[in-house]
Amino acid sequence: MPMLIEHIDAIARQKKRDVLYLEFHSPVSDNSDDEDCVDTFDWDWRTLPVRQHIIDWLAAQSIGWQCCGTFANVGQMGGYRGQIYIDVPFDKNLPVFQSLQAFLELPDGSMRYPEADFCYCPLEQAMKNAAHDEPGYWERWAEDF
């Protein structure tokens, strides 16, 4: 079933605040000798157990989330790779943020789940794409793509 997936910067502008999201990638093999190993596109985010584990935890904590795209870039079009926006304000003083951070990160700040990256999109950065919200912007863009 097709669905509309909003870019994370559009979500930040709608919320009028900084936003948090997760990006997922394939696990890198421990026996890889290539330090510059780049994540390949031949994995399916739907089968990544850690993604479902995180979604289940968010649901158990009554934390809202939705699928989202990366920061919009008119110079390229990428496919959806399982990213999710997490409806928790970026405020280190909020208990819900502290709980989320403790679940996703180890005490040293590294990720508890290597296949996930805990990301932050500041509203100030998102506002650089405010023109994308104008009626017809993406339709006009698609005509010239």
* Spatial separation of the C-alpha atoms in residues 96 and 66, rounded to whole Å: 17
Number of Cβ within a 10 Å radius of residue 72 = 18
> Two tokens at 50?
């850690």
**Is residue 67 packed enough to be buried (19+ CB in 10 Å), middle (13-18) or exposed (0-12)?**
middle
Q: Could you tell me the mean pLDDT of each successive run of 10 residues in the chain, 145 residues long?
A: 88 98 78 48 80 98 97 84 96 98 97 95 97 90 81
Give the predicted TM-score (pTM) of the model.
0.85
The neighbouring-strand residues paired with 118 are 22
* Spatial separation of the C-alpha atoms in residues 111 and 100, rounded to whole Å: 12
Domain ranges of the chain: 6-144
Q: Is 136 left (phi over 0), alpha (psi -120 to 50) or beta?
A: left
CA 122, 124, 128, 133 dihedral sign is: positive
What integer pLDDT is reported at residue 41 of this predicted model? 56
**Is residue 84 packed enough to be buried (19+ CB in 10 Å), middle (13-18) or exposed (0-12)?**
buried
Q: Which of 58, 76, 106, 100 has its CA nearest to residue 67?
A: 58
Name the phi and psi angles at 15, rounded to 5.
-80, -20
